Amino acid sequence: MSDLVLTERAGDVLVVTLNRPAARNALSPQMMEALTEVLRSADADPEVRVIVLTGAGEVFCAGLDLKAFAAGGDYMGLLWFYHKGLATPLVAAVNGSALAGGFELLLPCDLIVAAEGALLGIPEVKRGLFAAGGGTMLTERIPFAVALEMGLTGDSITAERAREVGLVNRVVPADRVLPEALDLAGRIAENGPLGVAITKRLMRRRRWGTPEDVKEIFGSADAKEGARAFAERRPPVWTGK
């Protein structure tokens, strides 16, 4: 496994850390390849209930490594993640500024905890590019006028402003970002995995559950276990079945 992306287990939670602090965790082709390997492996592992994504150092991610891009390096390596995300719940622990492709890493995440004063933005137009990793879909996440201002000017907003417009869940001191994200991840991991999975899928697609969905989940072994655990006043033991 590459040391460009570090992993650490915390029970049912996997912490994934971008590890190029000297380069502000900029996304080089090698880092994109390593992150792809880690995320796909974690998403396929039934023992990983939640993933926390963070960065080493004082910056979450400065986006595409422009030096590598200028030298002809590959820049398509994470488009799959930007476009499709993961089935596994994903919490972003934004330890510092997240810009361009680094900001767009946040959009497939389900919950975002950000450091006080962190800057978030899509400055691609300032470099003659555009936010190809999902930044153009910001109009679905935040007020239209705010998204357009960010996209067309390339100017950043603070984490506090991002919370005001509904993009960020919590803003905390930098040294509390990872603990707060782990707390949220743990609270997700305590719940029934089938219920969590279908809730994420339906909410992401903005859809009701079908009668078939209801029959599958309400008839599952986990649903029966949840009811028994409630009646017996004990924590449930989930099997994902």
Residues 185 and 89: their CA atoms lie apart, in Å, by: 8
Question: Do 122 and 151 meet the contact criterion of CB atoms below 8 Å apart?
Answer: yes
Tell me the residue length of the chain. Answer: 241
Annotation says 104 is catalytic: yes
Q: Looking at 33, 47, 104, 212, which residue is catalytic?
A: 104
For residue 29, the surrounding DSSP H or E stretch is: helix 29-43
Nearest to 187 by CA among 118, 84, 113: 113
How far apart, in Å, are the Cα atoms of 202 and each of 31, 83, 197?
Answer: 31, 16, 9
Annotation says 124 is catalytic: yes
Q: Which residues pair with 94 in a beta bridge?
A: 114
Q: Looking at 124, 164, 190, 225, which residue is catalytic?
A: 124
Residues 70 and 49: their CA atoms lie apart, in Å, by: 38
32: Cβ contacts below 8 Å, ≥ 6 apart: 74, 77, 78
Core vs surface per residue 122-138: b (16+ CB within 10 A) or e: bbbbeeebebbbbbeeb
Annotated active-site positions, please? 104, 124
